[in-house]
Amino acid sequence: MLEAEALKLENQARFILEKNDKKIIMENIKKKEFLKVLIDRKYDSDPVKAWRKKFNIDQIEPESTNNENEEGEEVEQPETEEEKKFDFDYLIDMTMRTMLRENIQELLKKRDAKKSELEELKLSTPQMLWEKDLDSFIEELDRVEKNERENAMKGIRPKKSAKITARGLKISNVADIYKPSEQADRIEPKID
């Protein structure tokens, strides 16, 4: 997924730069002709959708079923097999605001960050990833425990959520029973 996202950002950045440099002209041109231009310039069909389709992952955001856009205008549906084969909506539907210099710089930063994250992931071993996940888990656990201790010192009790059983009876949260006492002495285990 990371590779698909990086490729999508790469294509979007290249598209905006070529559009601003007038290498690609999309004004007053038919969709078929514009799709041919994108294919000739070696743009990738939506990499994220292709990745999701490859691994049979459902889309997070539902596709619109009607043939109208936000302004209520009719949108052309792909008619030929070639148009159905390629999905360049992620480029065509970009707003004019994305063509501004500030947004281009921001998109290039996102692209570079995604590429560096991908390279870092490729260079990491499974053990390195495991240790990184453990470190982040321990860090988050320490933060949560610190907040719980501070709340206990202030006398603030966490909200107890009541679970409702099938019969409609409420069961109080019993997590506090299993926590160590605040007055207890911590004994470090000795590992041989």
- Please check whether residue 149 is in contact with residue 184, taking contact to mean a CB–CB distance below 8 angstroms: no
Please tell me the distance from the alpha carbon of residue 158 to that of residue 140, in angstroms, as a whole number: 18
pLDDT per residue over 81-116, tens digit each?
555 678 888 888 888 887 777 888 888 888 889 889
Q: Is the pTM of this model over 0.85?
A: no
- Please check whether residue 171 is in contact with residue 165, taking contact to mean a CB–CB distance below 8 angstroms: yes
Please state the domain extents for the chain: 2-58+77-123, 124-157
Among candidate residues 88, 124, 123, 118, the one with its CA nearest the CA of residue 6: 118
Q: What is the CATH number of domain 2-58+77-123?
A: 1.10.268.10
Phi, psi of 118 (to 5 degrees): -65, -45
Please tell me the distance from the alpha carbon of residue 192 to that of residue 187, in angstroms, as a whole number: 16
pLDDT score for 77: 54
Please tell me the distance from the alpha carbon of residue 106 to that of residue 12, in angstroms, as a whole number: 12
Please tell me the distance from the alpha carbon of residue 46 to that of residue 85, in angstroms, as a whole number: 11
Kindly state the percentage of the chain with pLDDT values over 70: 74
pLDDT per residue over 11-47, tens digit each?
888 888 888 888 888 788 888 888 888 888 888 888 8
Q: Pick 5 or 141 by higher pLDDT.
A: 141
pLDDT score for 136: 94
Residues 6+ apart with CB under 8 A from 80: 32
Tracing tokens 């010192």 back to the chain, one arrives at: 153
160: confidence class by pLDDT, cuts 50, 70, 90: low
Q: Pick 144 or 156 by higher pLDDT.
A: 144
133: confidence class by pLDDT, cuts 50, 70, 90: very high
142: confidence class by pLDDT, cuts 50, 70, 90: very high
Average pLDDT of span 180-185: 82
**For all residues of the chain together, what is the average pLDDT?**
77
Angle (deg, nearest 10), helices 2-20 and 101-123: 150
Tracing tokens 């911590």 back to the chain, one arrives at: 186
